[in-house]
Amino acid sequence: MKINFKEDWKLLSKRAAIFYIIFTVVNILTFILLLTQTDAGFINPLIYLVFWQVAIWVYYMFRYKYRKTVSGGEWIDAGMFAIIAATLIRTFFIEAYQIPTSSMEKSLLRGDFLFVSKMHYGARVPMTPIAFPFVHQEMPVIGGKAYSEALKLPFYRLPGFQNIKNNDIVVFNYPYELITQNTFAHPTDKKTNYIKRCIGIPGDTLKIVNGKVYINGKATAVAVHGQSSYMVQLSNTLSFKDYEKLNISEIDQTNGEGSYLMQLTKQNLIDLKNTPGVVSIQPVIDDYNATVNLPEYCKTNKWTVDNFGALYVPQKGSSIKLDSNTYAIYETAIRLYEANPDFRMADGLFYMGTEQITEYTFKMNYYFMMGDNRHHSADSRFWGFVPEDHVVGKALFIWMSIEPEDNNTLYHRSPEGMKRYSKNIFSRIRWGRIFNSIH
């Protein structure tokens, strides 16, 4: 195949030529940023630059030079365009996600499909750029990794529109996704995607008292659709239709006669108080005995999910004094997320390799994330901080919402056993949620 760049360039349409020039400028700027602002060296950024320049050029040459001479050329052209365009859009602009769990109920529901902006906080340059299109971790059907670690780039984030603010709903890679305490299961950008509300930003001091969150000593507003646990005593049994009308979706019977544990929003609470047959409603606050799944430092400090902290959220450049308690709290961030595998405590003293240290200065910003379904959420109370290099983007709006066919969040245990009913696909679409903004 003869290559004549000057002649081949003439084949491009004016729009294609303009796009290629703009893309080249952006690609070169990214190369320069990686070269000067990270420890990537020279070779990896160069490979990244050349890969994308060649990929776009090959597509254009196929489209303008060979499409009509190849059987099925129109389909190949469409496929190549879709892969390249979708990869660029998903990487640097916007990406679709689905809510798989109930940890954000009722703000976000299982079966909500979201668009998440990569631009608001600044898109990450891919750290694992060689990957199968449209697949995150594993190949469908055949299994195995959907990415290659032959080319790895360090963390770098392009400029964004804003910083993460308190109470933003953020998509991030689950930081503590490990094979062992020392080896990550996946590269940072290939870890499982989580979505939570950012309660604490870098530099904040967070405390939870009887279920209420305080940031820097000030009480924070509870999410409008956030849920908490209540013990509800009923004099008569409510039906599924009653619960649907009340928009209550998480109910479990306790040992007491007519006693139920329910996850309720503020509006649920108001509506339930006005429902015939409701005898009493009492908030549930987890006590010290409820620390079974929390980190060891929570047990040491007698923290629970509802009485937690005070806890400092690390800010880049800030320092902490090291003692047995701060070591327990920040050890994962220091040793794993900030790549200090030789950080350790021995005989009450702290070492970075062979050097004894008494304080540590953080290299990154960190965030404290919590689910709006406060008693049914595995979040930063359980697995710690989210480093800035794990942040994916800001949740914008719901573009579709379908109640899962296997939805088991709505249930009611009775002496006759669990009662359920099913819905058809049309009735499972939550029409009122489509195109709702997320806040």
Mean pLDDT of 395-407: 85
Contact 205, 426 (CB under 8 A): no
pLDDT band at 416 (very low <50, low <70, confident <90, very high): very low
Cis, bond preceding 146 (omega within 30 deg of 0) = no
Count other C-beta atoms under 10 Å from residue 64's C-beta.
Answer: 16
* Farthest-apart Cα atoms in the chain, separation: 85
Mean pLDDT for the chain overall: 89
Tell me the C-alpha distance between 79 and 287, whole Å. 56
Q: Which residue has the higher pLDDT, 5 or 269?
A: 269
DSSP state of 59: H
Residue type, 146: A
Q: Is 35 helix (H, G, I), strand (E, B) or coil?
A: helix
Angle 100-103-109 from CA coordinates, rounded to 5°: 55
Q: Is the dihedral of CA 86, 91, 93, 95 positive or negative?
A: positive
183-211 residue pLDDT tens: 678 899 999 999 999 999 999 999 999 99
The one-letter code for the residue type at 383 is W
Q: How far is CA 188 from the centre of its chain?
A: 12
Q: What is the spatial distance between Cα 32 and Cα 26, in angstroms, rounded to a whole number?
A: 10
Q: What is the DSSP letter of 69?
A: G
pLDDT per residue as tens digits for the range 319-362: 999 999 999 999 999 999 999 999 999 999 999 999 999 999 99
In this structure, of 107-121, 385-399, 409-423, the range with the lowest mean pLDDT score is: 409-423
**CB neighbour list of residue 154: distance below 8 Å, 6 or more residues apart:** 34, 38, 39, 40, 127
